[in-house]
Amino acid sequence: MGKMKRQVCFFVIVVFFALSCDSSQSRADDIKKRLEGYADLIDEKLIVEGENSLSADFRHIEIPKGIGDSTVDLDRLIKDVRYVKLETHADVLIGRVDKLYFSDDRIIVVDKTKAHGVFIFDHAGKFIAKIQQLGKGPEEYAIIRDVSFNSDSNTIVLYDDQRDQCLHFSEDGVFLKAEKVGFFFHRFEYLAGGLFVHFQGNSVNLHIPSIADNDIVVTNDCKEIIVTFRPHYNQLAGIRNFTSNHELVKSASDVYFAPIFCDTIFNFDIDKRELKASYAVDLGSDDLKMLLNDESTLADYSAAFNTEGVYKFKGKMLPIDDFVFFEGERGGRYMGPWGLFYSRRTGNAMCGVGYAIGQRKDMLYFSFPDAVYKAEFVSVIDPAAVITSRSNSISKREIEHEKLSWVDSLSDIDNPILMFFTIEDF
């Protein structure tokens, strides 16, 4: 039965990859036709192509071989933990947490694919407002391609690629303005000084030749394109253009670019017009790419990932202060995430495919982090998973910890709980 499930999974992945390639070309053609008139809004003579460089503080991080046999020791790692239960109402139901942002007063939860909205809470988890206006009106959107948060003006920016517009809202969900966008992008994050970094992908915006072959675009307030980048990174030629699932990671005043199927992570120096390689994640002989080459197809990739003992870095990284968290996936029969916490101060790493809570009863529902807030990592806890875990294996006696008092009142339709934690140096 297990073998049959893996074969079905393999078939679905191959079909998905094939459809992705076809849809990428049709999307590019549609964008060119739809946005050709908007190209007049963009002065291509002002667009500069940035340079690639190596950060002076470049870090090469070797993932220990046999990471699948290791666990993260929470007793040793975690310093402090606190929980925030997000308030639930019948008309305030989060289906999926795609992004999290934090201002001094607000927690902003982005659900692009299920609730199709943005939910705003205070730092105690009390519901404040929501942005959930699907439609064709002046303050409405047809789809959420992505959302970013301008931390200088405390404004939420929602990109609707079907109507080619960015909608701007206050951090309390009040509509401010809607502006047309003259190019397509998959992801974007706010950098600083009114500048946004956009991942557009390769050969997407064919109506603007000067940016069409570059993956990264930097704009002034999502309007004026000022610089583009073509990152130089080691990614297999046959799969580079397959996916839009590249990560743009916001951290304080920095934005990092972490391409999927790649071992290099970049950040931006806009003043110098440079894209700097900052980290390399080295999986050694366990790396999925060791089974592939530049002639490999997406079907080859899928088959390779079904192999036991292979790992990949999926482009997820979260930096705070002296620490960085990286996450990837293990292939084969026991597919699942692996995580690595890295100390920039000592160069040490703590990693594994699971974690041991030891005596930390306040960490019973730990999961790898999904976001950062100041000096804290933030994990999203699914109430339904907590209820299942409790009924299957965790006795009432074990959860009698003051920080887990919210467990008894949980319903499986409740909004998520956020776990904030700091870590000890190691």
Q: 187-198 pLDDT, tens per residue?
A: 999 999 999 999
Whole-number Å distance between alpha carbons of 381 and 362: 13
Summarised one tens digit per residue, pLDDT across range 51-61 is: 888 888 999 99
* 3-state DSSP of 66-92: CHHHCEEEHHHHEEEEEEEECCCECCE
> Which range is least confidently modeled, 118-127, 172-181, 204-213?
204-213
Is 294 a residue whose pLDDT tops 90? no
What confidence score (pLDDT) does residue 17 get? 47
Determine contact, residues 150/101, Cβ cutoff 8 Å: no
Q: Which amino acid is at 102?
A: F
Whole-number Å distance between alpha carbons of 220 and 231: 20
Is 35 a residue whose pLDDT tops 80? no
Tokens representing residue 361 in the block: 């009863």
Is 327 a residue whose pLDDT tops 80? yes
Determine contact, residues 264/240, Cβ cutoff 8 Å: no
* pLDDT, mean of residues 214-233: 87
Query: Nearest Cα to 217, choosing from 141, 159, 167?
Result: 159
What confidence score (pLDDT) does residue 296 get? 80
What confidence score (pLDDT) does residue 359 get? 84
Provide CB contacts within 8 A for 11, sequence distance 6+. Answer: none
What percent of the chain has pLDDT above 90?
53
- Taking CA 312 as the corner, what is the angle to CA 308 and CA 313, rounded to the nearest 5 degrees? 160
Is 410 a residue whose pLDDT tops 50? yes
Is 177 a residue whose pLDDT tops 80? yes
What are the extents of the domains in the chain? 2-423
For residues 276-294, one letter each, b for 16 or more C-beta atoms within 10 angstroms of the residue's C-beta and e for the rest, the string is: bbbbbbebeebbbbeebee
* pLDDT, mean of residues 393-417: 77
Whole-number Å distance between alpha carbons of 67 and 424: 21
- Taking CA 115 as the corner, what is the angle to CA 111 and CA 121, rounded to the nearest 5 degrees? 60
- Taking CA 86 as the corner, what is the angle to CA 318 and CA 88, rounded to the nearest 5 degrees? 140
Which of 126-135, 215-224, 361-370, 380-389 is the most confident on average? 126-135
What confidence score (pLDDT) does residue 42 get? 66
What confidence score (pLDDT) does residue 1 get? 38
Q: Average pLDDT over the chain, rounded to whole?
A: 86
Whole-number Å distance between alpha carbons of 194 and 221: 5
> Mapping DSSP to helix (H, G, I), strand (E, B) and coil, where does residue 263 land?
coil
CATH class of 2-423: mainly beta
- How many C-beta atoms surround the C-beta of residue 105 within 10 A? 12
* pLDDT, mean of residues 281-293: 87
In order of 83, 320, 399, 418, the CA distances from 376 in angstroms are 12, 7, 23, 11
What confidence score (pLDDT) does residue 16 get? 43
Whole-number Å distance between alpha carbons of 259 and 256: 10
The secondary structure element, H or E, covering residue 313 is strand 311-320
> Mapping DSSP to helix (H, G, I), strand (E, B) and coil, where does residue 400 land?
coil
Provide CB contacts within 8 A for 45, sequence distance 6+. Answer: none
Determine contact, residues 376/365, Cβ cutoff 8 Å: no
Query: Nearest Cα to 124, choosing from 405, 418, 421, 423?
Result: 418
Q: What are the strands of the beta sheet with 175-180, ordered from one edge?
A: 146-150, 155-160, 165-170, 175-180
Give the residue with greater pLDDT, 262 vs 38: 262
Whole-number Å distance between alpha carbons of 289 and 310: 9
What confidence score (pLDDT) does residue 397 get? 45
Q: Place 6 in a pLDDT band, splitting at 50, 70 and 90.
A: very low
